[in-house]
Amino acid sequence: MTAQVVLNGFVTGMVVAMPAVALTLIYGILKFPNFAIGAMLTAGAYLALALNVYLSLPVLYAAAIGALLFAGIAVGIDQAVFRQLRERSAITLLVASMGVSFVLENIARFIFGNGARSFELPLARPKVVLGLRINSEQMVTAAAVIVAMTAVYVVLRHTPLGRAMRAVSDNPSLAAARGIDRERIVRWTWVIAGILTAVAGVLAGMDRAIDPLLGWNYIVTVFAASILGGLGNPVGAVVGALTVGIVEESSTLVLPPNYRQVVSFCVIALLLLLRPYGLAGAQRIKR
């Protein structure tokens, strides 16, 4: 029973890891917490749903094409909105991201309505391994997240692009002095963030049903994961996400399952009181 809960929590944490990494990367480069991350998840899920239902593509292809399309949309949003506000305060960007969130969520609502939708998936019986029930969605999730996280890690650690991203995140003016084009880095960051959130949207939509509030229901959890890892730290965000996933899932043993986000909020509150720079350690903190 306990092992089952930990397993489920681990898989939930894996889904959360994707938007948490996206959030933390955007924070690292643009220095604002993007409140539209939930709506981006929702929009990515609906985009894949549209491809799945209207073009009757299999979910895998729909997710892949949807993620690429959504990467383009994310760059477009940045150019249209956040680029115009580049030199303004983090709070201005935050409020703008709330505006973006409303636009994305309600475009989905306008086209698909309020009702819950789901992908056309073949039904499969859960497998039992060592007494643990693992369903096929969980296996797909694990595979997709491991591939995506490895890819992001390789890009960040071992490519010139990743080096430049880390440089801009650490010290923008020094990076600019070394001739790194910040706008190019910003665009690539949105591409990665777009892909990660869109895939996470599909995974979340496979787990639950797709409705306009799909991403919104993850938002506190995603923020908890990123803060736990120290905002701006991608590896920390993954660890944070897995931790939050397991803590949330374990809490359902004693609390009603609807209170998962409350548990995440308590994690944020406690963490900010005790270790405001995240568990991972040194992060720049103002004030």
Partner 1 sequence: MIDYLITILTLVGIVAILGLALNLQWGLCGMVNFGMAGFFALGAYTAALIALAGAGTLAATLAAALVCAMACGFVAMISLRLSEEYLAILTLGFGEVIRLFVLNEDWLTQGSLGLPGIPRPFWGWVSEKTYEVWFLGLLITVVLVLFIALEVLLRSPFGRAIRAVREDDIVATTLGKNVVMLRVKAFALGGAIIGVAGAFHAYYLTYIDPSQFSAVITAYVFMAVIAGGRGSNRGLLLGAATIMVFIEGTRFLKDLFNVMDATQLAAIRLILIGLGLILFLIYRPQGFLAEYRLKSSVAVQKSASFLRRARLRTSEPKPH
Binding site for partner 1 (CB under 8 A): 32-33, 35, 81, 84-85, 88, 90-92, 94-96, 98-103, 105-107, 109-110, 113-114, 216, 219-220, 223-224, 227, 231, 256, 258-259, 261-262, 264-265, 268-269, 272-273, 276, 285-287
For residue 254, what are the CA distances in angstroms to 138, 145, 223, 248, 260? Answer: 24, 29, 23, 11, 11
| Closer residue to partner 1 (CB): 71 or 96 | 96
The alpha-helical segments, DSSP class H, found in the chain are 2-30, 37-54, 59-80, 90-112, 136-158, 160-170, 172-177, 182-207, 219-228, 234-251, 260-274
Q: Which is nearer to partner 1, 54 or 110 (CB)?
A: 110
CB under 8 Å to 7, separation ≥6 — which residues?
132, 134, 138
Considering the complex, what minimum distance in angstroms separates the CB of residue 159 from partner 1?
29
Beta carbon nearer to partner 1, 138 or 264: 264
Nearer to partner 1, 5 or 94 (CB): 94
Write down the least CB distance from residue 152 to partner 1, Å.
Answer: 23
Least distance between partner 1 and beta carbon 222 (Å): 10
CB of 82 to partner 1, least distance (A): 10
CB of 1 to partner 1, least distance (A): 23
How far apart, in whole angstroms, are the C-alpha atoms of residue 48 and residue 94?
Answer: 27
Question: 95 or 134: whose CB is closer to partner 1?
Answer: 95
- Check: CB of residue 32 under 8 Å from CB of residue 98: no
At its nearest, how many Å lie between partner 1 and the CB of residue 184?
22
Contact 72, 194 (CB under 8 A): yes
Burial of 129 (0-12, 13-18, 19+ CB in 10 A): exposed
Q: Which is nearer to partner 1, 1 or 254 (CB)?
A: 254
